[in-house]
Amino acid sequence: MTNVFPAALMLHHHSVFGNDFLVLLLRMNKETLATIEEEKVLDKFSEERLLADTVFDTARGMEEVARAACDRKTGAGAGAGGPVGADGFIVAPHDPDFRPDDKGSLRAVMVLRNADGSFAEMSSNGVRCLAHACITAAGRDAAELKVLTGGGLHRVNIYKYEDPPEVWASVGMHRVLPGPIIYPGVCEAVNLVLDETEYGQPRRIATGSVGNPHLVIDRAQGPVTPGELVVSDEVLTRLSRAVVPFFPQGINVEVIAPLPATDGKVTAIAMAVHERGVGITKACGTGAAVSAVRAAGWSLVGGTVIDVVMPGGTERVALATPVCGEEAGKLVGFFQDAESEHLADHVFDASQWLTSPDGAS
């Protein structure tokens, strides 16, 4: 008997800050939920056990589906007149009968793949989209959910509003830990790229992790004006290509710069991001968290609430402690409700991508 089986072979397309994800909701029985809840982090071994009882034979099968469904030209949605493909593919075994007032038990698991099929530990925007898919499927307007990811257990508070049609979602983030070691070759590679541009050498670079790895580069040209690019797409792509060989597991690359002071205080930074396994994206929630913490530690900004302005929108990062640069509290952001004309919850028949296992129903 399978532990996890399709609720419906349908892919739901959700987007937040221009970061979009395909979400496949799967029902999970309560016994399996109870077993998985004992795990603090969903590692690759746990994923293999979980996916073995689903519409995917193995994690490798999911990687192949992710690459096909996320393709921006031929993926999910091609020919339908809406969005095509996505930045990531989420399989979400969940409890479809959760009660919003029951805050003590696990409600969903996020198995995440990048658009190229590679493993991804965590995406805060992906968690938001998963939570939105869960409450939409359950017919709820609000909930507090616990979501187990490859980056640990995260609590999500989500509320739907009708006027204006928005969904508010906050994701509890973990302590921002040191990221991978920065070898001397990384600094040399970054300087080599920037020396050939108008930006010049960076003041500082640092890594950080909230389950997935990030390299944050402080652009050395001072504040940027609102609407100004932190760095061109060409330079950002060259930076990523230059540093990735030094990080065998891959790394997300963010370039940041402070925005002008308001009332004598800098409380916002601009950020551009090149995501591992995807490329340049309009937003990255975990990247915003790490960048805000590093910016605070470098004294680029002050205060405990930092706005991170990205091409797709602004993330608000609340630090758990004042400017210590060691802990991030919550990421808070808004994305349009599924009923909004600006962003529809597009639903695709997933049967072309998936084959049900024997006994699934």
Higher pLDDT among residues 271 and 330, named by residue: 271
Comparing CA positions, the residue from 69, 77, 82, 89 lying closest to residue 20 is 89
Considering the domain architecture, whether residues 108 and 214 belong to the same structural domain is answered as no
Cβ-contact 19, 361 below 8 angstroms: no
Please provide the DSSP assignment of 98-155 as one string.
--TT--SS--EE-EEEETTS-EE---HHHHHHHHHHHHHHHT-SEEEEEEEETTEEEE
Considering the domain architecture, whether residues 230 and 316 belong to the same structural domain is answered as yes
Comparing CA positions, the residue from 275, 317, 334, 355 lying closest to residue 113 is 275
Residue 295: domain span: 184-326
Considering the domain architecture, whether residues 22 and 122 belong to the same structural domain is answered as yes
Indicate the length of the chain as a whole number: 361
Q: Assign 214 a pLDDT band (cuts: 50, 70, 90).
A: very high
pLDDT, tens digit, 9 for 90 and up, residues 267-307: 999 999 999 999 999 999 899 989 998 998 899 998 888 89
End-to-end CA distance of the chain: 11
Q: Which residue reads 């060409």 in tokens?
A: 234
Which tokens in the block code for residue 353? Answer: 């991508």
Q: Read off the pTM.
A: 0.81
Considering the domain architecture, whether residues 115 and 231 belong to the same structural domain is answered as no
Rounded mean pLDDT of the chain? 79
Task: Number of helices (H) and strands (E) in the chain: give both, helices first.
Answer: 7, 19
What residues form DSSP beta bridges with 335? 167
Q: β-pairing, 142-149 with 108-109?
A: parallel
Q: Assign 330 a pLDDT band (cuts: 50, 70, 90).
A: very low
For the chain, the domain total comes to 2
Report the CATH number that the domain containing residue 54 is assigned in CATH.
3.10.310.10
pLDDT, tens digit, 9 for 90 and up, residues 241-269: 999 999 998 999 999 999 999 888 899 99
DSSP 265: B
Considering the domain architecture, whether residues 203 and 142 belong to the same structural domain is answered as no
Q: What is the mean pLDDT of residues 325-341?
A: 35
